[in-house]
Amino acid sequence: MGMFDTIYNVPVKCPRCGDSGPKSVQIKSGPQNLSAYEFGKDEIEIDWTYEYYGSIIDEDKRIIRGIATCEKCKEETNKKMDDLINDAKKKGEIKAPEGGGYLFQCEIDGKSALGVMLKRLDEAYDGNRNIELFEVTIWLNEKNMPIAVDHIVKLNDIIE
């Protein structure tokens, strides 16, 4: 995926769980040197010619795209993953190398245990184990300071 810059304390509500606490948002429209910014306080270095991944929505209106993370949903998926792993351990499915190891070093039925667990997590969330991520639109003022944010609504979400 590459490097992202991050905007912290973004006031956006999670569309999944409704958590309204501040979120971190990754953007890919700046120098991409892992810079960190505060929403409403810091000027963001923007490369308006960088249009890959839909990072620039509208240069004239000063609108960029980002990916927000909901910590509440992230905690939920981490707990669910722990539950899935513990269940697999109880069933004796996970085969570890001699002396133990990390999940990516283990196997389930001859396959990567990590891959199997991620697939199970996908299945638990109807094919989307990344429930903590959602797209946002960020409006910047003339100094490239983020001043407003909203969800990006996809056409399929409206039709269904």
Condensed to tens digits (0 to 9), the pLDDT of residues 93-123 reads 999 998 878 999 999 999 999 999 999 999 9
User: Do 65 and 9 sit in the same domain of this protein?
Assistant: yes
Residues 90 and 118 in one domain: yes
Structure letter (DSSP) for residue 30: S
Cβ proximity of 65 and 57 under 8 Å: yes
Give the model's pLDDT for residue 5. Answer: 93
Give how many domains the chain has, as a whole number: 2
Whether residue 143 is found in the same domain as residue 64: yes
| pLDDT above 50 (res 159) | no
- For residue 56, CA distances in Å to 53, 93, 138, 149 come to 8, 46, 10, 14
Pick from 91, 85, 90: nearest CA to 116: 85
Residues 147 and 90 in one domain: no
Residues 107 and 85 in one domain: yes
pLDDT digits (tens, 9 = 90+) for 18-68: 999 999 999 998 778 899 999 999 999 999 998 888 899 999 999 999 999
Please indicate, yes or no, whether residues 95 and 108 belong to a single structural domain of this protein. Answer: yes
- 61 and 78 share one domain: no
Question: Do 132 and 73 form a contact (C-beta atoms < 8 A)?
Answer: yes
Q: Do residue 66 and residue 76 come from a single domain?
A: no
Residues 102, 51 within the same domain:
no
- Residue 156's H or E segment, with its range, is helix 155-159
Instruction: Give the structural domain span for 48.
Output: 5-70+132-159
